[in-house]
A = this chain, B = another copy of it.
Amino acid sequence: MISIEEALSIILQETQVLEGEEKNILSCLNKVLEEDIYSKDNLPPFDKSAMDGYAIKSEDTNLCKDAVSVQFEIIGLLKAGAFSSEELKHGQAFKIMTGAPLLKGADAVIQIENVNVNDDKLYVHEKVKSGNNVIKFGEEVKVGEVALAKGIVIRPSEIGVLASLGYSSIRVHRDPVISLLITGDELVDINSELKMGKIRNSNEYSLMALVKNLGAEVLSFGVIEDNKDILKNKVKEALEKSDIVITSGGASVGDFDFVEQVLKEINADVKFKSVAIKPGKPISFAIVDKKLFFSLPGNPLAAITTFEEFVRPACEKMLGKEVVCDNTFEVILCNDFKAKEGRKKYIYVNIKNVDGKFYAYKIGSQSSNHLITMSKANGIIIMPEGVGYKKAGDILNGKFIFK
């Protein structure tokens, strides 16, 4: 049995960032850029007006002071999307809309709200600086510059940058494909009535949801009969079709737990077979043909806990994302908490943030590891190895779940 930290370090060492693939930009949302994006244009591609107003020569306003206004002759109108090859002369003004290119001879724009107009005469009452309300050619980015650097996560703002630069598709690290194989002869379909000895298959659904939340692709093989050869064939098929294979159940020491035997028969390189975590001890991890294999416990709470603790970081690394190994913080206990000594215990709780301090409240029995308990929780507190009791007011490390 190894520690959580050792287990995670082994998993990450064996995990490779996946190669890039070209996708249309909207499909790249929340993915990681696999190439530097160079600008093929100067942005803006011309000096342009930042406001609706009048393009003028700024030096013509030098005479403005106190109550003295300067008069201009309005000689034309330029809307966004249009351009003019005329050259502005002293005393002339050109009405110009936001985004329109500044015409030759003009070096400033005065805002429409700050002037008076009478027929084709413009009256300016204030001194205007050169460059006023003008966005300069190439000010945002120049041809050949790196606009977006390899490794960043594509957010709505980056989608906008890519569109403005004319990139309709880019290369991002591809999504891992994760296969799910659920074992357990006690499991019946979600739509079945419960007969004696049977419970419904819930792990397939919660694991599919966990994979979906990570932005990875899920390939579910459904419930596999408790039969070694059938399981072996499905595992082989899953290994061919995916980057990560997950089994749930069939991993403890029961007579009908075949996962370990199957791993032996397919010459898997088993890296560990149990971790000092509660819930979740009987989790094993192996490498087969460079693919990652996780055997998660069948207990629903343990399956979700170990997925989040061990599969998620591997998946994030594959996606090219930054893997945060320790996102815990100090939490003040508001109840007494008890747990069996031994393994590190993850206790599901309700964490409240009050004025920047975090407080943990008990939400129900932990011992039976009910999913309904978890559904009332937004976080966990971690009872260290060898500690079995903490009282209200004590401090433990904790973290939020599903974040």
Contacts and interface: CB of A to CB of B under 8 A. Distances in A.
Contact of A197 (B101, B155, B199, B375): B101
Contacts of A253: 52, 112-113
Interface stretch (A8-16, A60-68, A73-81, A230-238): A73-81
Given A197-B81, A252-B52, A29 B375 contact: no
Interface string A248-275: 0000111111000000000000000000
A204 B377 CA distance: 38
A139 interface: yes
A225 B212 CA distance: 39
A205 interface: yes
Contacts of A200: 163-166
Contacts of A194: 41, 45, 166
A191 interface: yes
A46 B163 contact: no
Given A184-B99, A190-B166, A252-B52, A197 B82 contact: yes
Contacts of A166: 190-194, 200
Contact of A161 (B29, B77, B204, B375): B375
A185 B52 contact: no
Given A161-B371, A208-B26, A371-B160, A254 B79 contact: yes
Contact of A213 (B29, B147, B402): B29
Tier of interface size on chain A: 35 or more
Which one of A79, A81, A83, A135 has the highest number of Cβ atoms from chain B below 10 Å of its Cβ? A81
Nearest to A218: B26
How many copies of this chain does the complex contain? 2
A212 B402 CA distance: 19
B255 A375 contact: no
A160 B197 contact: no
A336 interface: no
A370 interface: yes
Contacts of A90: none
Contacts of A139: 365, 368, 370
Which one of A83, A168, A206 has the highest number of Cβ atoms from chain B below 10 Å of its Cβ? A206
A295 interface: no
A161 B301 CA distance: 10
A162 interface: yes
A141 interface: yes
Contacts of A148: 375
B205 A159 contact: yes
20 contacts: A25-B205, A26-B209, A29-B209, A29-B212, A46-B196, A79-B255, A80-B184, A81-B197, A99-B298, A100-B186, A112-B253, A155-B375, A156-B213, A157-B377, A157-B402, A160-B206, A161-B371, A163-B205, A164-B300, A166-B200
Given A52-B252, A135-B368, A141-B370, 6 more contacts: A81-B184, A99-B199, A156-B402, A160-B205, A163-B202, A168-B191
